[in-house]
Amino acid sequence: MKLGIFGGTFDPIHNAHLFVAESARLSEGLDRVLFLPTRHQHYRAGAIADAQHRCAMILGSIATNRGFALDDSDLQPEATGYTADLLPRLRDRYPDASFTFIIGADSLVNANWVRLDEVLAGLERFVIAPRAGVPDDALARVIAALPTNLRQRVGTLNLPALPESATLIRTLLAQGRSVRYLVPEAVWQYIRSHRLYGQPEREG
C-alpha cells in the first residue's frame, strides 16, 4: 500500500489543503492520503483550536473522499512533533506501506528541519506543493543542499502556487468576515456552530 503523509496543524483545514492532497494522491498513485494534525509545531505558534475541534473539521472535510483518512499519531502524548520521530511509529502502524510525504514549499523553506536526511531515507517520495510567496530559487537551494542519493526522492507537484493559508482564514474570521468557500462547507458550519476563531454567536 502506498500512503501519503500530510501533516500540519490544520487550524483550520481549508480547500487548498484538500486540493494539494488530492493532487498528490493522483499524481503519485497513492492508495490513501493520511491527514496527521500535530500537537507540536516547532517553527510556528501553537494551534488556536484544540485537537478535538481540528480533528472534527478534518473528518467533516474528508468524509466524501474514500482516498483520505485521519491519523492521530502526532497527537499522542509520546509525539514530539518531529517527523523523524513520527515515521517509525507510522511504520509500526502500517507495516506493509511505503510512504510519500506531502509538504508545502513554505514549510520546507521556512522551517528549521531536524534530521531531514533521516526523514528522506525513510520515505519512498517527498513531494512539495508550490506556495505563493516562496521563490523558486529559495526552494532550489534547499533541495540542492540535500545529499545526492536522497535528492532523487524529492519532487515538486505540478500545481499553481496557492495563496490560501490557515493564517489568512483565521485573520478574516477574527475580523468578522466570511470564509465560506475558502473552507469546505462542513468546516464553515463547524466554525460557526462552535464559535471558533473569534466568530460571534450564530444567528438563526
Mean pLDDT of 37-44: 75
Q: What is the pLDDT of residues 157-181, one digit of tens each?
A: 999 988 878 999 999 999 999 999 9
- Would you say residue 154 has pLDDT above 90? yes
Please spell the DSSP secondary structure of the chain, one letter per residue. Answer: -EEEEEEE--TT--HHHHHHHHHHHHHTT-SEEEEEE-S--SSSPPPSS-HHHHHHHHHHHHTT-TTEEE--GGGSTT--S-HHHHHHHHHHHSTT-EEEEEEEHHHHHHS--SSHHHHHHT-SEEEEE-BTT--HHHHHHHHHTS-HHHHTTEEE-----B---HHHHHHHHHTT---BTTB-HHHHHHHHHHT-TTPPPPP-
What is the pLDDT, as a whole number, of residue 155?
94
Q: How confident is the model at residue 90 (pLDDT cuts 50, 70, 90)?
A: very high
Mean pLDDT of 91-109: 95
Mean pLDDT of 32-39: 95
The percentage of the chain sitting over the pLDDT mark of 70, rounded to a whole number, equals 95
What is the pLDDT, as a whole number, of residue 162?
83
What is the pLDDT, as a whole number, of residue 202?
53
CATH class assigned to 2-163:
alpha beta
- Looking at per-residue pLDDT, the higher value among 43 and 149 belongs to 149
What is the pLDDT, as a whole number, of residue 123?
96
What is the pLDDT, as a whole number, of residue 204?
38
- Would you say residue 3 has pLDDT above 90? yes
- Would you say residue 65 has pLDDT above 90? yes
The average confidence (pLDDT) of the chain is 92
